Amino acid sequence: MKPSNKKDFKNISEQEMRRATIKSLVGFSLGAFGLLAGIKWLVTGSDAAGLSRPLRKILEANRKVAGILYSNKNLAPVFSKEQAVSVPRLNGTIGLESSIDLGGWVLSIQNNGNIRGLNKTSMELTIDEIKKLPKTELTFEFKCIEGWSEISNWGGTKFSDFMRVYGLGGLEADNENKNLTEYVSLETPDEAYYVGLDMESALHPQTLLCYEMNGLPLSSEHGAPLRLIVPSKYGIKSIKRIGKIAFVDQRPSDYWAERGYDFYAGL
């Protein structure tokens, strides 16, 4: 991980502002709802079925905000495997310049607390151990912030399954997400490319740790032996050749956020 800098502090306060805004929105809608229900009860004694249009709109808008933040229903459209291009376009080689010794590669993991079954907070996994995790396949339209998109096919494991199996980032096996860390940090082995991911996006059911493309092992240009695929975000977040993953509460350094792109890079 890169040491945090001034920019990170600035971003944390931005995040707090976002939170405060969401809180006040929710508070306003609850207040409005309570007031209206009270008036309804006083005047007609009926339920809220007769909500005025503007107030109903506010309530629905807030439900949408809550839905985006607290559920995983914003799924990217999926396609059949046959619709995927056979040789996806290549983009971005930061952190991939040197050749990789696939046999010697391990994924370094840094957890916020003890890893399940281990009396320690860090561990290493081989690609074979990662391949033992539940397997998922996904064909979706990969979108680069530069303006191109392409349907591509990927195979690997859900990031949430990876977290759940090892009890990483506070995710428990029973799916009770009580003490989740705020972020995940991912870096290439040489630390040249690095991505910060908010926990909501890490847990998104389509966010995958991938070791296959079109049913074959990833080529090194596409991120062998392990890359991230985040269909709910622009391609900048889909880091290739992952070397290190850390579960953290401070917003991690992010290569493209440091260069002026939106940290969330949502679609």
Ligand X SMILES: Nc1nc2c(c(=O)[nH]1)N[C@H]1C(S)=C(S)[C@@H](COP(=O)(O)O)O[C@H]1N2
Binding status of residue 98 toward ligand X by CB under 6 A: no
Among 144, 172, 249, 261, binds Mo ion (CB under 5 A): 144
Q: Which of residues 210-229 bind ligand X (CB under 6 A)?
A: 222
**The binder of ligand X chosen from 72, 91, 110, 121 (CB under 6 A):** 91
Residues 23-82 that bind Mo ion (CB under 5 A): none
We find the least distance from the C-beta atom of residue 142 to ligand X, in angstroms, to be 7
Q: Tell whether residue 235 is a contact of ligand X (CB under 6 A).
A: yes
Q: Is 235 in the site for Mo ion (CB under 5 A)?
A: yes
Q: Pick from ligand X, Mo ion, none: which does 78 bind, CB < 5 to 8 A by kind?
A: none
Angle at which helices 53-70 and 6-43 cross, to 10°: 140
* Three-state SS annotation for the chain: CCCCCHHHHHHHHHHHHHHHHHHHHHHHHHHHHHHHHHHHHHHCCCCHHHCCHHHHHHHHHHHHHHHHHHCCCCCCCECCHHHCCCCCCCCCCCCCCCCCCHHHCCEEEECCCCCCCCCCCEEEECHHHHHCCCCEEEEEEEECCCCCEEEEEEEEEEHHHHHHHHCHHHCCCCCCCCCCCCEEEEECCCCCCEEEEEHHHHHCCCCEEEEEECCEECCCCCCCCCEEECCCECHHHCCCCCCEEEEECCCCCCCCHHHCCCCCCEC
Chain center to CA of 72: 11
Q: What angle do CA 96, 101, 106 make, to 5 degrees?
A: 90
In this chain, which of 164, 204, 233, 240 binds ligand X, going by CB under 6 A? 240
- Which of the listed partners (ligand X, Mo ion, none) does 241 bind, with a CB threshold of 5 to 8 Å by partner kind? ligand X
Q: Interface with ligand X by CB under 6 A: which range of 20-28, 121-129, 204-212, 232-240?
A: 232-240
Tell me how far, at minimum, the Cβ of 52 lies from Mo ion, in Å.
45
Q: Using omega within 30 degrees of 0 as the cis cutoff, is the peptide bond preceding 205 cis?
A: no
Pick from 144, 167, 190, 261: which binds ligand X (CB under 6 A)? 144
Q: Which stretch binds ligand X (CB under 6 A): 9-17, 88-96, 120-128, 257-265?
A: 88-96
Residue from 46, 89, 122, 124 in contact with ligand X (CB under 6 A): 89
Closest distance to ligand X from the beta carbon of 242 (Å): 8
Site for ligand X contains 12 (CB under 6 A): no
Q: Which residue from 88, 170, 189, 243 is in contact with ligand X, where contact means CB under 6 A?
A: 88
> Residues interacting with ligand X, by CB under 6 A?
88-96, 144, 188, 193, 222, 235-236, 238-241
> Residues interacting with Mo ion, by CB under 5 A?
91, 144, 235
